[in-house]
Amino acid sequence: MDKEKREWSTYLVGAGFTIMIIFLLLSMFGNKGSFIAFCGIIVGAILGTIGLIINKMEQVNDKEKVRKNQKEMSEWFESRIVGFGLCVDDIISIKKKEYSIYISQKYYYWIKDKKIFFFPQKEDFIRWHVNINNSVDYCEENAKLISINISDIVYFKVIGDISYVTNVESSGINVKGAAIGAVVAGDAGAIIGSRPKITSKVEEKDNRFVELKYKDDETIKTLKFDYTALDIFREIIPEKEYEYAGFTTEKVTEQAQEDTANSYTIEERFKKLNDLKHAGLITEEEFANKKKELLEQI
């Protein structure tokens, strides 16, 4: 809705309602004639009605604009999908941080030229992001294609576990139990029978997700996926699973040594080593040892 029109509609509704109340009170407790009060109430009603009509018209315009944006966003996605030559509809869910919480967003995925690609799924992206302001420009800025060389994938592994929470509930006074208790054992039975029913229910919470780490230039980056991605990765890149790849921190350290050959400066080696530590791929002790080795080379 246009901001100026929204403000005007609000002012008109508020002014009309206020005028109606004022003249209604004057007609009841003041000295104004009934005709003047009647005219004041009519004027207030007209202003309020005009404001409501403007508001309703803008709501209709907003809905039309959202439908228009939705159509344009859909056409944008279709053009990208055709451009990628995407013929399959394989979907994976990536956990994205939105407003301090993680939400699952659906992505197409496919493998081509020894790379794995992720691109936002059309319907899911539009459902989350379409409004009166977001259209093609928003898609251009936020619906990004993610491309990762399979050789740059360090590993994928499951993080988290399944937890169980016991919820205890009380159903309040048990009227039926009180009646039966009174018949069987008098007042004492009624007291015992009226005690609230206590029930417990065990709730399962699945906190598991799949973490994928990969190299991007000189840094280690992380993508988080729903747990359902585990079977997908085991099918398309089984050799990258943490356990089966024989992954160890020593292996990462050796890889870092190999990557930081003489072509890198001391500063670049420090940066790469620091990235490995922050990514959790080497321990503090390993970091300290390698740092000492680098300092000895200066």
Q: pLDDT digit string (tens) for 212-243?
A: 999 988 789 999 999 999 999 999 999 999 88
Q: What is the pLDDT of residue 109?
A: 94
Residue 31's Cβ-count burial label (10 Å; 0-12, 13-18, 19+) is exposed
User: For the segment 41-55, what is each residue's pLDDT rounded down to a tens digit?
Assistant: 788 888 888 888 888
Q: What is the pLDDT of residue 39?
A: 80
Q: What is the pLDDT of residue 175?
A: 47
This prediction has a pTM of 0.60
Chain centre distance of CA 85: 28
Chain centre distance of CA 96: 6
C-alpha 29/C-alpha 37 separation (Å) is 11
CA dist list (Å): 152 to 64, 147, 265: 46, 11, 22
* 209-216, strands of its sheet edge to edge: 146-149, 115-120, 101-112, 91-98, 219-226, 209-216, 153-159
Q: What is the pLDDT of residue 164?
A: 85
Q: What is the pLDDT of residue 260?
A: 46
CA dist list (Å): 121 to 92, 118, 139, 141, 275: 9, 9, 12, 15, 31
Q: What is the pLDDT of residue 212?
A: 96
Sorted by where each begins, the domain ranges of the chain are 3-69, 162-206, 248-298
Of 55, 233, 77, 73, nearest to 158 by C-alpha is: 233
Q: What is the pLDDT of residue 176?
A: 46
pLDDT in tens, the chain (298 residues): 456 766 777 777 888 888 878 877 777 766 555 777 778 778 888 888 888 888 888 888 888 888 999 999 999 999 998 888 876 678 999 998 766 677 899 999 999 999 999 999 999 999 888 887 888 999 999 999 999 999 999 999 999 999 888 877 766 555 444 444 444 555 555 545 555 667 778 888 899 999 999 998 878 999 999 999 999 999 999 999 988 766 554 555 555 455 544 546 767 777 877 877 777 667 788 888 888 887 777 6
